[in-house]
Structure 1
Amino acid sequence: MEVQSLVAWNLRRLRVERGISQDDLALAAGVERAYVGYLERAARNPTIITLEKVAKALDVNIAQLFREPGPSEEVPATLRAGRKKKS
């Protein structure tokens, strides 16, 4: 798997596992929301600084963004669109 695709796969996996929207991740990482989408589609080549910001926002070691998926792992599904219901 190409490194950009690997980062994209892991970024989406980690974000979805945590139930974090692209908007919330972007805000926490200090990057544009559209940029998070570009990264998840492997459409941009992020700097190490950006990867560090994203990893911190996800509360993971930066190495997790480079983890090879297992043979049975599927591309993570997207989160349901729209706003969360108020409690």
Structure 2
Amino acid sequence: MDTRARIAWNLRQLRSTMGVTQENLAVDANIDRTVVSDLERGRHNASIDLLDRLATALAVDIAVLFAEPDPTDPRPTPLRPGRKATK
């Protein structure tokens, strides 16, 4: 697994495990939601600064994003799509 795929896997795994939407993560990291989406699909080449902001927003060490996933781990499940209804 290349580094971009590893980051994509770990980012989605962390975000979905924590129950954080792409939009909320983007707001917390001060980036556009489409950047989070592109990162999770391995379509964006992230800078160290961007990865640091994402790790900070998720309250994890940046090294977690580079960790080699266990090959027996199931694919990270996406959260329910769409925006939450406003009151």
Q: Which residue of 2 aligns with 1:47?
A: 47
Q: CA RMSD in A?
A: 1.3
How far apart, in 2, do the equivalents of 1:85 and 1:59 lie? 27
Aligned to 2:20: 20
TM-score, normalized by length of structure 2? Answer: 0.93
The CA deviation at 1:82 is 2.8
Q: How many residues align?
A: 86
Structure 1 gaps, min length 5: none
Q: Distance in 1 between matches of 2:39 and 2:57?
A: 15
- Within-5 A mapping of 1:3-82: 3-82=3-82
Q: TM-score, normalised by structure 1?
A: 0.93
For residues 70 and 24 of structure 1, the distance between their equivalents in structure 2, rounded to whole angstroms, comes to 27
Choose 67-76 or 32-41, whichever is displaced more: 67-76
Gap runs ≥5 in structure 2? none
Aligned-pair CA distance for 1:71: 2.3
